[in-house]
Amino acid sequence: MPQEFYEVMKYLVSAAAGAGLTVALVAKFGEKIFFKHLDHKYAEKLSQKNIELQSELEETKNSLNRSLQQDVASYKADLEVLSGQRARYLERKIDSVLELNKSYVFAINTFLEYIDINHAYIEEAAGYFIFQSEEKGFTEFSDYRVYAEIKREHWPKRQKPAELAINKYSEMLALRMPILPEYFASSELALATELEEMMEKSKGLFYRTMGLTSEIIEPEEEMTPEECLADFKVHVTESLEIKEKIESYSKNLLSKAQESNKLIEGLLIS
């Protein structure tokens, strides 16, 4: 057996029994050759690991990109839905303001037609007796029964459409209040309430005035003619106040429309 081979086997046995094969080989043949071989193996593994990491990184990047694209697409879709909902909500608000204005204009115009007739009936009936009482040589009042019956017959033809128009305006406001700006809804509610109160008062004035035309001639409530005449004058005054109030609303329809226009412009830029 050659001496060199014998030496190698000797070191192999010694390495296996002692500190280990690697230390023995390094000690015998020098660390340069061994680590060159080790570096090569390590480099291969490192290269393979690097390839694997690069592949995983690329897959992770692609996955993140896909996820990001999906998130962006979903966000855009949600934004479009939200924008569409806001646009529809704004459209409903504006439509509600316009519809309410239209209903208000119709209610005022119909109320004005009614109150003109209502006041004329009251004023005529009251004047019929007031003028008689102021004539020289007055002794007794003339009967007004026929005229009163004619007015009672024709009065509902004006009163009912006006009351219906006011009720429709109030109902429309009630349905649209949740979607209307608070200050606008409050203002409209005050108007609707006032119109309803004036309608009720005007109806009462008509009935009481027509009742007085009978009471002053044939007392049933033990009222004196002087008391009836005083009530006639009060009824005329109160009826005239309602008439003038509705006339002022009719004249201010354009101003109210301008206020609504400002409201709509504010909604569009908010």
In a domain, 33, yes or no: yes
| 202 shares a domain with 101 | yes
The residue range of the domain holding 75 is: 3-80
For the chain of 270 residues, list the mean pLDDT of each consecutive stretch of 10: 51 47 49 54 64 67 58 46 65 84 93 97 96 88 93 95 96 89 89 96 97 93 92 97 96 84 78
| 264 shares a domain with 162 | yes
| 260 shares a domain with 144 | yes
Q: How far apart are CA 195 and CA 173, in angstroms?
A: 13
| 240 shares a domain with 112 | yes
Q: How far apart are CA 130 and CA 245, in angstroms?
A: 25
In a domain, 90, yes or no: no
Provide the number of structural domains found in the chain.
2
| 184 shares a domain with 234 | yes
| 215 shares a domain with 129 | yes
Tell me, what's the pLDDT at 8? 47
Instruction: Single out the residue of 120, 125, 149 nearest to residue 229, CA to CA.
Output: 125
CA-to-CA separations, 228 to 135, 151, 207, in angstroms, rounded: 17, 19, 14
| 115 shares a domain with 74 | no
| 252 shares a domain with 122 | yes
Tell me, what's the pLDDT at 64? 55
Q: How far apart are CA 241 and CA 235, in angstroms?
A: 10
| 119 shares a domain with 66 | no
At residue 32's C-alpha, the angle toward residues 27 and 35, to 5°, is 90
Tell me, what's the pLDDT at 71? 46
Contact 257, 101 (CB under 8 A): yes
Domain C-terminal end among 80, 104, 137 = 80
